Amino acid sequence: MSTEHIRNFSIIAHIDHGKSTLADRILEITGTVSDRQMKDQLLDDMDIERERGITIKASAVTMNYEHAGKNYMLNLIDTPGHVDFHYEVSRALSACEGALLVVDATQGVQAQTVANAYLATSVGVELIGVINKVDLPSAQPEITAEEIEHVLGIKKQDCFRISAKTGLGVQELLDALVTLLPPPTDLSGEPTAALVFDSINDDYRGVICYVRVFAGGLTLRQKIRFMGAGRTYQVTELGKFSPKMSAVDRLGAGEVGYVIANIRQLSDVTIGDTITDDSNPAKRTLPGYVPPMQMVFSDFYPGNNTDYPKLRSAFEKLALNDASFSFVPQNSPALGFGFRCGFLGLLHMEIVQERLEREHNIDVVQTAPTVSYEVVTNDDNVKKIDSPSELPDLSHIKELREPFVRLEIITGTDSIGGIMKLAESRRCRLLKTDYLSQNRVMLEYRAPLAEIVYDFYDLLKGVSHGYATMDYEFTGFEAGDLVKINILVNKVPVDALSLIVHRSVAESRGRRMLVRLRKAIPRHQFEIPLQVAIGGKIIARESIKPFRKDVTAKLYGGDVTRKMKVLKRQKEGKKRMKSIGAVQIPQEAFMSILDNSD
């Protein structure tokens, strides 16, 4: 097929604005999926995605559509909808010429709508504005259209008003997609260049690469080369998702599909790499993607040290399906052997946690999530650290830099006050206030990532009664007056409980951490002193009083079986905690240090 009849597009939207429903409707109208033979929201693959209502992995579906007597091939490339997955969105968008920007008419433009629209524009993707859920009584399509025009510069009269649920306006939208979005540039005569925009691991077929062919073409049994990795393979299968995998002999320029080529491990494939013909290679690689950037780190230790190999193999399996997740062995003086894991964001971390529990059934102790820092040592070396425990002695440090983000918050005007107060308490600096309409405003902040990564979103939802949305984008590292808070439990410093914070809040944070820990660590047989130290100086102490009485009064012949069961349960309870010397620390305690609430 000539590229003239191909349209590659994405749907981008804030979570729950109807992206997956619209995708379903398009699949139906094009006859790709007949009478709902598949589950709702077809493109969401994994259980967790479906449960959380979000999409983790981008998927691609090829459809046929007839318009004005001509057959078109439509390739829908799905994108994740959450703030943590910027990187995956950028990968998917780069494989498209256009995108449908979906906004819920009952909610209006949200922070992720803006972030995704900026991202699309930055990779040169043409946008079509779509106002969804216009059938609902609470829909405000005109106000929404004004917001879209005001914030995103798409003219309000050009926005399509649809209901993905009922199908209203979707046919017209499809026609517009064909007429308004540009086709791929025809580079069929050039040497092969195909972009890998995603990859998954299949238990039976090995690694499957999602590709967009930009130039030349891919054919069965072709000897291909991954230009970045420098590896060569022979294509064993080519195909498209329709939406099931269906094999083809050739993927031509402008087309989207999959490649299987005896690739053993997901880690052998770099997302953003260019596939070319080994004997007739492209002159240069396609404009690359930014590699995934892990922003949040947390240590995982097996509850029981003998489970270390089990934990390693679980992480290996998780990494097979998730190229954005990383793990490296870690040895903590207090907690023993474990792994430092890197995540795109907190939600990504929670997803990995859940999969670890659900699919691998291992008791783990996890430390409080932290961001990474840049340390400039006295000899001007710059070193990145992903954990407070790696921080060198202060006397060796010239400068400590923390990550900053551009934070966008969209909210109703009535909660501005609360949000500004919250942002101020987290060292955020207001850059811009932009009224989207009479009642809604967009606030732009420069914010330290460490201050917003953990509980900020929940607090934001709290002060705005659930209405505010936020998105953020990493902008760079900047020096700050940062100090490390050390916690001593029973006089032993526990590295896994340390935290890097701004000096201005260090003392109050430290005291609060002690109060949290006193509540989270159960009473023991002896008194446990808790101390907090900043820069070697103890600034506060607390103690956990021992329990005074814990003994069964009567134990005679008839009580043995029951009593033994009770004692075993008591012992089991201890096992789920991590021993530091004679002190047992439960999982909640490690997380409690980040609890900043009163």
Partner 1 sequence: MNVEKSHCEQSGLYVHIPFCEAKCRYCGFYSEPVRNHNSARLVSAIITEFQMRIQTSFSPQTIYIGGGSPSCLPQEQLSRLVGEITSRWPKTDEFTIEVNPGQLNKTSLSQLRKMGVNRLSIGAQSFDNTELSFLGRRHSVENIQKAVDAAKKAGFQNIGLDLIFAIPGSTLASWEHNLMSAIDLGVQHVSTYALTYEEKTPLQKAVEAGEVKPVDEETDRLMYETAIEKLEKAGFRQYEISNFAKPGFECRHNLNYWANYPYIGVGPAAASFWNDNRTTNIAEINTYIEAIGKGESVIEESETPKPLQIACETAVLNLRRRCGIYIDEFQKQTGYEVLKLFAEPIDKYGELGLIEMTDGRLFLTREALPIADSILCDFSDV
Between 514 and 533, how does the x/- string for binding to partner 1 read (CB under 8 A)? Answer: -----------xx-------
Using CB under 8 A, which of 361, 552, 597, 598 touches partner 1?
552
Place of tokens 């700050």: 480
Bond from prior residue into 291 cis (ω within 30 degrees of 0): no
Total of residues contacting partner 1 (CB under 8 A): 25
CA–CA separation, 219 and 249 (whole Å): 6
* Residue 570 interacting with partner 1 (CB under 8 A): yes
Q: What is the DSSP string of 227-254?
A: TTTTEEEE--EEEEESSSEEEESEEETT
CA–CA separation, 255 and 253 (whole Å): 6
Asked if 58 and 210 touch (Cβ cutoff 8 Å), the reply is yes
557 three-state secondary structure: helix
Give the other-Cβ count within 10 Å of 198's Cβ.
Answer: 22
* Contact stretch for partner 1 (CB under 8 A) within 51-59, 165-173, 259-267, 569-577: 569-577
287 three-state secondary structure: coil
* Residue 548 interacting with partner 1 (CB under 8 A): yes
Using CB under 8 A, which of 568, 578, 580, 596 touches partner 1?
568
Asked if 140 and 499 touch (Cβ cutoff 8 Å), the reply is no
Give the other-Cβ count within 10 Å of 336's Cβ.
Answer: 16
CA-to-CA separations, 542 to 265, 437, 493, 513, in angstroms, rounded:
50, 51, 15, 10
Between 575 and 594, how does the x/- string for binding to partner 1 read (CB under 8 A)? Answer: -------x------------
Reduced DSSP (H G I as helix, E B as strand, rest coil) percent helix, strand, coil of the chain, to 5:
30, 35, 35
* Contact stretch for partner 1 (CB under 8 A) within 75-83, 97-105, 181-189, 558-566: 558-566
Using CB under 8 A, which of 395, 561, 597, 598 touches partner 1?
561
Using CB under 8 A, which of 221, 491, 574, 576 touches partner 1?
574
> In the window 431-460, what residues touch partner 1 (CB under 8 A)?
none
Which residue, 125 or 580, is less far from partner 1 as judged by CB? Answer: 580
* Residue 553 interacting with partner 1 (CB under 8 A): yes
Which residue, 393 or 550, is less far from partner 1 as judged by CB? Answer: 550
Q: Report phi then psi at 539, rounded to 5.
A: -110, -15
Task: State in angstroms the smallest separation of the CB of 560 from partner 1.
Answer: 6
* Residue 221 interacting with partner 1 (CB under 8 A): no
Place of tokens 């494939």: 269
Which residue, 309 or 558, is less far from partner 1 as judged by CB? Answer: 558
Task: State in angstroms the smallest separation of the CB of 574 from partner 1.
Answer: 7
CA–CA separation, 88 and 165 (whole Å): 26
Using CB under 8 A, which of 69, 189, 551, 597 touches partner 1?
551
* Contact stretch for partner 1 (CB under 8 A) within 93-101, 315-323, 448-456, 546-554: 546-554
Footprint on this chain of partner 1 (rule: CB under 8 A): 525-526, 546-558, 560-561, 563-564, 567-568, 570-571, 574, 582
